[in-house]
Amino acid sequence: MDDYPLLNLFWTMLWLFLWVMWFFLLFKVITDLFRDHSLSGWAKAGWLIFVLVLPYLGVFVYLVARGKSMGERDVKQVQEQEEAVRQYIRTTAGTGSSSVDELSKLSTLKDKGDITPEEFERAKRKLLAVQ
């Protein structure tokens, strides 16, 4: 324990934390670059080369030049995901009343005489057995 003082451990942990945060930032910039549909393929390639060849300068320039639109794309993606979840919930919740609707249609068909009472009972049992 005497070979590695506590202050050195602190500095090592700090540098490790900063190194990990740097990679998070680098990957965030690269994923944002590919998610942006307003850039052409050549512009994306240019930014990617700039970020990979001169990483610190490239990421800094990218954040200064495109940081605001980066946040807007994040917000748009979250809104699209929330809408997709809402739509999924609406369609899933809507299926619970479909058996009631089917029974109502079957009853109407029986009342009109389009199906026989035996066919109505068979279809009703089949519909209720599915649940």
Structure tokens at 66: 């495109």
Tokens of 84: 């997709």
Check: CB of residue 52 under 8 Å from CB of residue 26.
no
Q: Where are the domains of the chain?
A: 6-96
Between helix 98-112 and helix 117-130 the angle, nearest 10°, is: 180
pLDDT band at 10 (very low <50, low <70, confident <90, very high): very high
Quote the Cα angle for 65-67-71, to 5°: 150
Supply the pLDDT for residue 103. 84
φ, ψ dihedrals at 114, nearest 5°: -75, -25
DSSP assignment string, 2-32: TTS-HHHHHHHHHHHHHHHHHHHHHHHHHHH
Res. 130: pLDDT tops 80 = no
1 has a pLDDT exceeding 80:
no
Q: Please check the confidence at residue 2 and state whether its pLDDT lies above 70.
A: no
The DSSP code for 61 is: H
User: Over the stretch 48-105, which tens digit does the pLDDT of each residue have?
Assistant: 999 999 989 999 999 999 988 998 999 999 999 999 999 888 877 765 556 777 888 8
Per-residue pLDDT at 105? 87
Would you say residue 28 has pLDDT above 90? Answer: yes
Q: Confidence class of residue 126 from pLDDT cuts 50, 70 and 90?
A: confident
